[in-house]
Copies of this chain bind each other. A is one copy, B any other.
Amino acid sequence: MPLKNDRFLRALLKQPVDRTPVWMMRQAGRYLPEYRATRKQAGSFMDLCQNPEYACEVTMQPLRRYDFDAAILFSDILTIPDAFGQGLYFEEGEGPRFKKVIRSPADVEALPDVSIKEELAYVYAAVARIRQELAGRVPLLGFSGSPWTLATYMIEGGGSKDFRIAKQFLYNHPEAMHMLLQRLADAVIEYLNAQIEAGAQVVQIFDTWGGILTPSAYRDFSLNYMRKIVQGLIKEPDGSTVPTILFTKNGGQWLEAIADSGCHGVGLDWTIGIDEARARVGEKVALQGNMDPCILDAEPKVIRAEVKRILEAFGSGSGHVFNLGHGITPGVDPDHVAVFVDAVHEFSAESCRQTE
């Protein structure tokens, strides 16, 4: 089925668009009352992720309310560690936890051989179902956590303030860390390729915690494995892959290296000006971002002014996917999201016309 709205794909390939495409990280989420209702109906958060019908429902919910230019698979970034037998669970209001943790090189060697294709079949079933439900309305984005980000949770056993345990592992056992990251990179390749086969039209790698590393550790232990993933994706006969986006939170200092990874788009948080980012890497990649999610807590006129400011900072021409610089936070007024999405389309229509 041909896409009715391909702005998102076109912007990632830096082809002309009629307006700047927009979606939001965590757009299917707790700020929506209908999400909270489905979540309650499903039972636990994992029940929600693992049931393709529910996963499809919450993926579609924001598209019924807002004029988003992309849908993103509803899932959790920690499905892969769970598939490795670490026992993912969620404490209410506490974030993710693992029953088993990795604390030694022996723990890495003891990781079982698992078929990501089989273990995470529920994810691909959700992808297929969402594609069907979308019926070509907008493209579907698949995703995975980055190997480094997955490793931090697997070692810490959950989230962390300073990632001391994960870093101690990295500093004391760099070889075992590389072994773990290679296992995870292989798993992510298998995972994203299965999502692509099931219908994902773009994939994004969320490197939520790459930005806590030193520049050399980031390059060797995070970016290195994201590059391998980009290289490992299914290729078309002409050698191309689906468009890929790398998002390292707090990665603004390393944009050039990220843009050299072979990805199509680079996700930006809000600590870098998109004008500066474009000047540095805009010839090579598309840019995704970069509004501070906290702007959505502000008054509508402030939201509109900030959208305008960011669009003007990017400037004319294609290669911009509007997004927040991080996931939307629970508690945002859903009406403010409509203000945001509509402002992106309204203000970008003019500048896009100028350049066509």
Give the interface of A toward B (CB within 8 A). 162-164, 167-168, 171-172, 211-216, 218, 250, 252-253, 270-273, 276, 292-295, 297-299, 302, 306, 329, 331
Given A171-B294, A253-B253, 7 more contacts at CB 8 Å? A164-B297, A171-B295, A171-B299, A213-B271, A215-B271, A215-B273, A253-B271
A interface: dominant SS:
helix
11 contacting pairs across A/B (C-beta < 8 A):
A162-B294, A162-B329, A164-B329, A167-B294, A171-B295, A171-B297, A171-B298, A172-B299, A212-B271, A214-B271, A253-B272
Chain B: which residue is nearest A301 at the CB level? B172
Assembly stoichiometry (copies): 2
A303 and B231 CA atoms in complex are apart in Å by 35
A250 and B171 CA atoms in complex are apart in Å by 21
Residues of B within 8 A of A252 (CB): 253
Chain B: which residue is nearest A163 at the CB level? B294
Chain B: which residue is nearest A211 at the CB level? B271
Chain B: which residue is nearest A167 at the CB level? B294
A329 and B294 CA atoms in complex are apart in Å by 29
Q: Do A297 and B167 have beta carbons less than 8 Å apart?
A: yes
With most chain B CB atoms within 10 A of its CB, the pick from A211, A218, A250 is: A250
Question: How far in angstroms is the closest Cβ of chain B from A310?
Answer: 9
Chain B: which residue is nearest A332 at the CB level? B164
Residues of B within 8 A of A270 (CB): 214
Question: How far in angstroms is the closest Cβ of chain B from A45?
Answer: 19
A252 and B271 CA atoms in complex are apart in Å by 10
Sorted nearest first, the 7 A-B pairs with minimum C-beta distance are A171-B298, A167-B294, A168-B297, A215-B273, A214-B270, A171-B302, A172-B298
A299 and B167 CA atoms in complex are apart in Å by 12
